[in-house]
Homo-oligomer: A and B are copies of this chain.
Amino acid sequence: MDHGEMHHHNTARTLDILYRSSPITMAKLRKESGLARRTIEVILENLIAKGWAKDSEASAKGVRSVGRPARTFSFSYDAACILAIQLEAGHISATVADLAANPLAARRQVLPIATSRQERFRLLGECIEVLLTEVGRTRSSVLAVTVSTPGIVQDDGTVELPFTMPEWSGFSLSEAVGQLFDCPVQVENDAKLAALGEKNIGGLDTQDFVYLYSDSERLGIGLVLRNELRRGVDGAAGEISWAPALGLRSLTSPLLVDFDDEGSPNYQPARDLVARAREGDARALAEVDKLAQTLAPGITAIAWLLAPQEIILGGGLGEIQDLLVPALERILQRNERPITTLIRGSKFGQECILNGCLRMCIESLGEILFEASELSTLSADPVVSAEAAHV
């Protein structure tokens, strides 16, 4: 490590603090980073020149009693934007957000399951254009993109086995979407992203958990262990539907989804049943108990194998968490030795996957920011000029 790397390291540290807690004064920045004031001054000068930070006018008046008021510095959350894309058999959804992951605009387009790959991409491109236009940005001001897809995303980026979209097997989504942007495009499995979305909400608490994501009858698992999303070899981690022993192959509870005679999913009867369970209807509650019974052995196994801090119920399971969590707790208490892992419902509903995509963008921001600042060049002005749009 030479002086340049040391400087880089200190810049990253400062930027990280700035990102997490702006606006911030020099005094706090010093205290947090442990660096000398002059050092931070120089770093901030550079960051401001490159557009990643700014001198915010909002000096917190009245908070401190005496002395010269401190300047406050802020991360430029609006210096660029990030993009979350959820691709599923039945719809395309996307959200543009600023660098703080605050959504700026969202769009959801329902489409027939039989839609061809080519058509899906046409619609996706359209969707992106509309969204970016809506917020007054261009594709070149997108810093990171994350795409969610069903199926296993292998290490080489190709997608495998999304039952509902056979055309996608062996296809490299990251390459296809990557052509639209000159920033990193990450692709990941939906359950894993849903899990990621639950990470570090608010404080720094949730860093070690197993996330159960149910979509209709399919159950996928996302693992966040020691603050890190686990992909496993070739992205196969969490694909427990292939492991009969856990008893989580598929969840056929009428609380989650009902199927008509032709095998099409029908959610209304399930909602009705849930409503009845909330009213205390005995038969409906029996269904809750039955579902909990189905889940309990698998949850017990996961809890003892990994001993995560939490096991989180998401997707369809999350929507009935008020019913399911207490039922599960009752059953799990009867275990020979009770598990120490906390069982709880997800804090997000439908939006959990797009949320996870945003989070993944944010997590890769650190590296991206530095690569980009090497090139310097992002204008501080959030709206990029039209001539840069074709890049």
A residues sitting closer than 8 Å to B (CB atoms) are 1-3, 6, 9-10, 13, 35-36, 208, 221, 223, 225-226, 228, 230-240, 242-247, 297-298, 300-309, 335-337, 339-341
Contacts and interface: CB of A to CB of B under 8 A. Distances in A.
Given A9-B1, A225-B225, A340 B234 contact: yes
B242 A245 contact: no
B304 A236 contact: yes
A86 to B, nearest CB: 23
Contacts of A6: 1, 3, 6
A241 to B, nearest CB: 8
A302 B300 contact: no
Given A246-B245, A335-B242, A230 B10 contact: no
Contact of A237 (B13, B232, B300, B305): B305
Contact of A230 (B35, B244, B306): B306
A292 to B, nearest CB: 14
Contacts of A35: 1-2
Nearest to A245: B297
Contact of A304 (B2, B36, B240, B339): B240
Contacts of A302: 305
Given A1-B9, A223-B305, 14 more contacts: A3-B6, A226-B228, A226-B230, A230-B306, A233-B308, A237-B304, A237-B307, A238-B305, A238-B307, A242-B300, A242-B336, A243-B300, A245-B298, A245-B300
A1 B3 CA distance: 10
A213 to B, nearest CB: 14
B233 A304 contact: no
A242 B340 contact: no
Contacts of A305: 221, 223, 237-238, 240, 243, 246, 302, 305
Contacts of A208: 233
Contacts of A246: 245-246, 301, 305
A305 B249 CA distance: 12
Contacts of A245: 245-247, 297-298, 300-301
Contacts of A306: 223, 230, 232, 237
A365 to B, nearest CB: 21
A243 B300 CA distance: 6
B300 A337 contact: no
Nearest to A235: B307
B233 A300 contact: no
17 contacts: A1-B10, A3-B6, A225-B225, A225-B230, A226-B228, A230-B306, A233-B309, A235-B307, A237-B304, A237-B306, A238-B305, A242-B304, A244-B336, A245-B246, A245-B247, A245-B297, A245-B298
A301 B301 contact: yes
B239 A304 contact: yes
Nearest to A233: B307
Given A1-B10, A225-B230, A232-B307, A301 B243 contact: yes
Nearest to A303: B243
Contacts of A297: 243-245
A243 to B, nearest CB: 4
A238 B234 CA distance: 23
Contact of A307 (B236, B300, B339, B341): B236
A385 to B, nearest CB: 38
A4 to B, nearest CB: 11
Which has the most chain B C-beta neighbours within 10 Å: A243, A306, A339?
A243
A103 to B, nearest CB: 32
Nearest to A342: B233
